[in-house]
Every structure is written in C-alpha cells, then in structure tokens.
Amino acid sequence: MGLLIARFAGYTFATSMLSIVVFILLFVFLGKIFLSDVLGIVALLISFVIVRVTIKIK
C-alpha cells in the first residue's frame, strides 16, 4: 500500500509540472477569448477534470 502511494505520488509529481503549464496556457487563452473570470475558472476546472481522467486512462 505504501509502495503504491509512493509510486502514485511520484507519477503525479512528474505529470503535475506539465499539467500546471497546460492549465496556465488554457486559462490565459480562454480568458482572452471570453474576457470573463467566471468562465475562465469554469474552463480551468473542466480542463483539470479532463487531464485527471486522461492520466487515469493511461
């Protein structure tokens, strides 16, 4: 169990840096399109869910 958690934490840490970059790019990109903080935050949450699902599938 501990080994599984350590492995998952390492995998999450490796992918989190890429995820953060993707989140920032999506946030800025969508923010410029919609010019709305609320829609930007919603888009950020949606992108977060999509990335998490993609990571679980792989």
Smallest Cα–Cα separation from 53: which of 15, 24, 27?
15
pLDDT of residue 5: 63
Residues 6+ apart with CB under 8 A from 41: none
**pLDDT tens sequence for the chain (58 residues):** 566 666 666 666 667 777 777 777 877 777 676 666 676 677 778 878 887 887 776 6
The total number of structural domains in the chain stands at 1
* Residue 19 domain boundaries: 2-57
Could you tell me the CA-to-CA distances from 1 to 7, 8, 11, 15 in Å, in that order? Answer: 10, 11, 15, 21
pLDDT of residue 35: 63
pLDDT of residue 40: 66
